[in-house]
Amino acid sequence: MQYKSLSIPLLYKRRFVLSNSFYVFFVIILLFEMVISICICYFLKNSYLNHVKTQLVTEANRIENTLADTFSETYHVMLYIGKQISLYGKNEPRFIEKMLFNSSEIALKIKTVSPWSLFDWVDLNNRVVVNSQIGIIPNPSEKVHDSYTLKCPEAPWTLQLSRPTIGNTSGMWAIPAGMGITDKQNKYLGTLNVGFVIAELNNKIQQALIAEESSFVVLDEDLRIVFQSADNSIDPKSSYYRDLLKNKKYFKEDKAYLENPITYKEIEYVYYKKMEDFPYIILTGFDKQMVQDALWNLILPRLFELYGVGAFCLALLYFLRKKLFNLTTASETNKEIFFQSAARRMRDSISSVLTYCDVLIKSLKGETNIIVTKDRQIEFIEKIYTEALNLYTMTTDTLNITCIYIDKLIENSVSILIKATLKKNITIKTSFASHLLPFNGDEFCLKQIVTSFIALAINYCPKGATIKISALNELKNKQMFLVIKVKDNGFKLDAKDIMRISERFSHTQEQESIMTTQLDFASIEKLVQLHDGKCYIYNKEPKGKIIEVVLPYRADASVEEREIDMSKTSNVHWLPRPSKSDS
């Protein structure tokens, strides 16, 4: 048998309390989520911006490594050529031409990774006499005015860079660089010149970067643009940064975050780094729009999750409260019907008392011609006493036999007491045997029995307890019985307890809703006996008790009313532990 839960651990009293409490809870949830949203936005923003700044440092290092590797590789190639020229010991154009054209190592470097436009040999008069593409230049007249021609004689065998310019021979925007060559006696022979194609170097830098939102600018020592990312798009000949930064001491340290970021269009440069061996300053920044979009893509899912959970909680609370309100409304309706049935029974008893009293009074006053003998007077007084006793115990001596569906009756009885279970956070579970036979009996009396036993279990159960109610048919000695069990995990009862709770006792106002539907054991015993049934109460291990009502199916189901002899012995039994068949 599967149990069905009928209680929810929440409490409703009136509809306006429901609405007010729900709206208060809604406002609390909304304020809480707004505070959490602000905290989430703040922490995610700071975390992401710190991540972006860390990326900018990494990208600046990648740019430095790319340029340093290229310059270092070029330096070793030029060093190799210069050593060959130095060993030869003469400034001989034919020999230098042969070196630039026929060197397999130089040819391999040119074909693979080096962004060189060409090599030149510049003589002592700063004239290009040999070109790696043209060969020997006859009658050279034009002098080279790049700054490396002044630095190389002062620091031979080092790579000296000049500011970007358009190559005379290649016609491309390039960085001229030179290395001074000396012989064994340190006599200056000339300058080996090379041009770095800026477009190719720029592509190598762009390929080395990872973060899409990163932008970069590489400035020389005069704050002229040497390299830049595509989104920067400033004319290399422009003096934008030189004019912007000439009166500001931005670059005091070798590397640092800028206190006042440099902004160009939507790009914000916040980090700079000076290259160790070359006169360049690397600026890295980010596209503000891209960072903002990425930040929203990071924050919005978290906010949707947060408000989604809040909306789900509110919807769940709303439907739970709505269901609970419907349960309590049904409980009040069923209780009202139950009390109306009880009132009808009371009116019948009161009507009988009034009738018998009226006959006795008129007979004793001589206001009627009907002679009431002494025996009849005693009979009337006994009936008045019986009806008064029925009023006191809320019982009856006759049964109004109808066909009863026990599962509906039990669920209706549980519904009457639903508020009492909610106050103590008690869960009531019901289970019914499949194909449970209808029972012929007094519906109101059976509802009184079931309701009283459930109320008893509620009274003697702690908060948060579970009460299980089951109904099944049992066949014994060719007689079909209806067995109703009420099990709980509350307090145990012994014989003395049964005797004590069988009498009326005072109760607090908090128990009023339970006690108004609960009969004492004497009344329950009478109602059970009216149906020729028996009642058993026994304790469970390790705690709790089981109340079992056994009622036989009646053979005379067609009889509408039947009087029962109340001289039978008590049919309420206390057992120390359940038998195997009753477990």
pLDDT of residue 519: 61
Residue 357: which pLDDT band, with cuts at 50, 70 and 90? confident
Q: Taking 60 as the threshold, does the pLDDT of residue 486 lie above it?
A: yes
Is 0.75 surpassed by the pTM of this model? no
pLDDT of residue 515: 41
**Least confident segment among 157-161, 243-247, 482-486:** 243-247
**Least confident segment among 35-49, 75-89, 284-298, 372-386:** 372-386
Quick check: 318 and 325 in contact, CB under 8 A? no
Q: Is 107 helix (H, G, I), strand (E, B) or coil?
A: helix
Mean local confidence (pLDDT), 320-337: 76
Q: What amino acid occupies position 188?
A: Y
Higher pLDDT pick, 32 / 85:
32
E strand or H helix at 337:
helix 288-365
pLDDT of residue 62: 93
Q: Taking 70 as the threshold, does the pLDDT of residue 267 lie above it?
A: yes
**Least confident segment among 285-289, 376-380, 447-451, 498-502:** 498-502
Percent of the chain with pLDDT over 90: 15
- Chain segment 39-59, per-residue pLDDT in tens: 999 999 999 989 989 999 999
Tokens of 537: 């109460």
pLDDT of residue 19: 64
- Chain segment 421-474, per-residue pLDDT in tens: 888 888 889 999 888 999 988 888 888 888 888 888 888 888 888 899 999 999
Q: Taking 70 as the threshold, does the pLDDT of residue 1 lie above it?
A: no
pLDDT of residue 284: 92
Q: Which has the closest alpha carbon to 5: 534, 422, 555, 477?
A: 422
Mean pLDDT of the chain: 78
**Peptide bond preceding 115 in cis form (omega within 30 of 0):** no
Q: Taking 70 as the threshold, does the pLDDT of residue 510 lie above it?
A: no
| Structural domains in the chain plus CATH codes | 18-326 (3.30.450.20), 401-502+520-552 (3.30.565.10)
Question: What long-range pairs does 134-140 form, CB within 8 A, spacing at least 24?
Answer: 134/169, 135/97, 135/101, 136/93, 136/94, 136/97
Q: Taking 80 as the threshold, does the pLDDT of residue 202 lie above it?
A: yes
pLDDT of residue 6: 46
Q: Give the number of other Cβ atoms within 10 Å of residue 344's Cβ.
A: 11
Q: Taking 80 as the threshold, does the pLDDT of residue 32 lie above it?
A: yes
pLDDT of residue 60: 93
Residue 505: which pLDDT band, with cuts at 50, 70 and 90? very low
Q: Taking 90 as the threshold, does the pLDDT of residue 552 lie above it?
A: yes
Q: Which has the closest alpha carbon to 267: 248, 242, 249, 292?
A: 292
Q: What amino acid occupies position 505?
A: F
| 533-546 CB burial, b ≥16 within 10 A, e <16 | bbbbbbbbeeebbb
Q: Taking 80 as the threshold, does the pLDDT of residue 557 lie above it?
A: no
β-pair type (159-161, 173-182) = antiparallel
Residue 13: which pLDDT band, with cuts at 50, 70 and 90? very low
Listed ranges 97-111, 352-366, 504-518; the one with the highest mean pLDDT: 352-366
Q: Taking 50 as the threshold, does the pLDDT of residue 579 lie above it?
A: no
pLDDT of residue 528: 85
Tell me the three-class secondary structure of 517-573, residue by residue: CCCCHHHHHHHHHHCCCEEEEEECCCCCEEEEEEEECCCCCCCCCCECCCCCCCCEE
Mean local confidence (pLDDT), 92-115: 66
Residue 15: which pLDDT band, with cuts at 50, 70 and 90? very low
Residues 6+ apart with CB under 8 A from 82: 157, 179, 181, 192
DSSP character string of 31-61: HHHHHHHHHHHHHHHHHHHHHHHHHHHHHHH
